[in-house]
C-alpha cells in the first residue's frame, strides 16, 4: 500500500492526471520556462506534504538569494483547504529552507545536513529549486559536471529509498539556438536518473498553464490545465 501512496498537490486536475500526485522513493523532475509556475508548485507541495495521511516535513533547497517566504506563508493559510483542513502559519516551521548556489554546497546539504536532520525530523519531501542553477556555472568542465550530477543523484536516490521521500527537482528548458526542440537541460547525465518527468507550459490563453506528463512509468503522456491564484494552483 505504501508504494501506492502519492503526494497530492491539492490541485484537482494535476492530482487526477497523475493518479494521485507525486511518487515516493524516486527523483521527479518539473521543468519549464522561467515564470511558468515551477516554484509555485514546489511551495504548494511543501505545504501539501504536511497534510494527512503523509503529515511529513519538507526540505527545500533554494538556489536563489531569497526564498519566497511570504508566498509560502500565503499558501500555508490557503492550501490546507484543498485537504479539508484549515490553514495555519505554523506550517511554515516544517519547511526547512537551505540555500545553495553550487554543487559543493549542495553536496554538503545532501551528504551531511539532510542525513543529520532525517535522524530527528520525519522529512517526506525534498525539493531542489533548481538543479539547473546548481550546474549552470560555466567553470565546471563537462566530465566533472557529469560526475557531480552522478554523485548527487545517487545520494538523492539513496535517501529517497531509505527514508521514503518524494524528491522533486526543478529544471529549466534548454535554450540552444541551434535546436528547434526545447527540452529539459543537463543532458543524459541527469536524465538517466529522472524517473518521472513533468513539464509546465503556458497555454495559449492568458493566465492558463498546462501540466504535462512527459515521461512516467505508470502514466500515459497527457496534460491538464490549471491556473495560479493567490490561494495556489487550481
Which residues sit at the interface with ligand ADP, rule CB under 6 A? 32, 34-40, 71, 228-230
Q: Is the dihedral of CA 101, 135, 159, 52 positive or negative?
A: positive
Cell numbers of 179, please?
535546436
Nearer of residues 109 and 199 to ligand ADP, judged by Cβ: 199
Please check whether residue 65 is in contact with residue 40, taking contact to mean a CB–CB distance below 8 angstroms.
no
Nearer of residues 41 and 49 to ligand ADP, judged by Cβ: 41
Q: Nearest to residue 7, comparing CAs of 39, 42, 48, 47?
A: 48
Nearer of residues 121 and 224 to ligand ADP, judged by Cβ: 224
Query: Burial code of 42-62, b = ≥16 C-beta within 10 A, e = fewer?
Result: bbbbbbbbbbeebebbbbbbb
Cell numbers of 101, please?
548556489
Q: How far is the CB of 52 from ligand ADP (least distance, A)?
A: 26
Burial degree of 83 (CB within 10 A; 0-12, 13-18, 19+): middle
Rounded to 5°, the CA angle 130-197-98 comes to 25
Amino acid at each position: 500500500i505504501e508504494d501506492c501512496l502519492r503526494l497530492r498537490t491539492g490541485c484537482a486536475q494535476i492530482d487526477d492526471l497523475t493518479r494521485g500526485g507525486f511518487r515516493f522513493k524516486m527523483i521527479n523532475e518539473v521543468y519549464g520556462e522561467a515564470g511558468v509556475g515551477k516554484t509555485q508548485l514546489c511551495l504548494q507541495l511543501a505545504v501539501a506534504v504536511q497534510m494527512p495521511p503523509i503529515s511529513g516535513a519538507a526540505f527545500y533547497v533554494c538556489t536563489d538569494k531569497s526564498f519566497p517566504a511570504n508566498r509560502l506563508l500565503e499558501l500555508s493559510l490557503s492550501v490546507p483547504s484543498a485537504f479539508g483542513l484549515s490553514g495555519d502559519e505554523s506550517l511554515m516551521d516544517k519547511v526547512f529552507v537551505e540555500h545553495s548556489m553550487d554543487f559543493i554546497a549542495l553536496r554538503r546539504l545532501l551528504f551531511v545536513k539532510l542525513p543529520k536532520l532525517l535522524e530527528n525530523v520525519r522529512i517526506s519531501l525534498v525539493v531542489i529549486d533548481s538543479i539547473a542553477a546548481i550546474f549552470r556555472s560555466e567553470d565546471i568542465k563537462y566530465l566533472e559536471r557529469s560526475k557531480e550530477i552522478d554523485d548527487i543523484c545517487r545520494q538523492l536516490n539513496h535517501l529517497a529509498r531509505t527514508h521514503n521521500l518524494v524528491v522533486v527537482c526543478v529544471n529549466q528548458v534548454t535554450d540552444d539556438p541551434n535546436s528547434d526542440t526545447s527540452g529539459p537541460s543537463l543532458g543524459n547525465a541527469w536524465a538517466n536518473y529522472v524517473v518521472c518527468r513533468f513539464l509546465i507550459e503556458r497555454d495559449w490563453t492568458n493566465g492558463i498553464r498546462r501540466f504535462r506528463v512527459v515521461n512516467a512509468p505508470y502514466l500515459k503522456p497527457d496534460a491538464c490545465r490549471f491556473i495560479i491564484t493567490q490561494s495556489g494552483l487550481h
